[in-house]
Amino acid sequence: MKQRIDDDRRIKKVKVKNNNRKKTRRKEDVDNVKAYYFMVSFMGCLLLTVGILSYILR
């Protein structure tokens, strides 16, 4: 009986951990996308600024 209760608890813990893991993963994915668009837009803006300024000043 004790074993069964322990098992149930363990299964519950695993379920909670799985949910937490899924949440962590989703957060990681969102963070990756945010970091990516931050980098691309930053690089893009820099290039665009230098490009436009150098074109005006040529």
Partner 1 sequence: MNNSLLKSGWIHALVMGLIAYPLASIVDKLVAVNKDVNILAFTCLMMLSSSFILLVIAGPGKLTKESLKTPHTWIYGILETITVAVGIMIMVYISATEAAALSRTTAFFALGISLLFLNQSVNKIELIGSGFLIFGFMFVINGMDIPIETKGLVILLIIVKNILQASKKITAEVHKTNRKSKTFKEDLRIVGIVMGVTSVIVSTTFILLAVFQNSYNLTIHKDIPTIMDFLNFKTFVLAFISGIILLSLNKYLEFYVSKTLGAKYLMAMASLQLVGVYFLEVILSNFGILEMKVFSPESILALSIIFIGNIIIAMSGFMKDLSFIRRGEKQDTLANLDGNFIEEEDDFDLVKLNLANLLNLYNTDSKKLSTDIEIDRIVLDNIVNYNYGEFKIENKIAKKINDFASQHVATKDKLTKAHNRYYLDHLVDSLFKKNQLFNLYYLDLNKFKPINDEHGHEVGDHVLAETVAKLNDLESFKNLVFRVGGDEFVLLQVGNIEQKLENIITQTIEVPVQYQEIPLEISTSIGQVSSENYDNLEDMLKDADRLMFEHKKSKGVNR
What is the binding site for partner 1 (CB under 8 A)? 1-4, 10, 17, 20-21, 24-25, 28, 31-37, 39-40, 42-44, 46-47, 50-51, 53-55, 57-58
To partner 1, the closest distance from the beta carbon of 6 in angstroms equals 8
- Give min distance, CB of 47 to partner 1, in A: 6
Tokens of 13: 């813990």
Q: What angle do CA 24, 30, 34 make, to 5 degrees?
A: 140
Output DSSP code: residue 33.
Answer: H
Nearer to partner 1, 8 or 20 (CB): 20
Q: Residue 48 corresponds to which tokens in the numbers above?
A: 């665009």
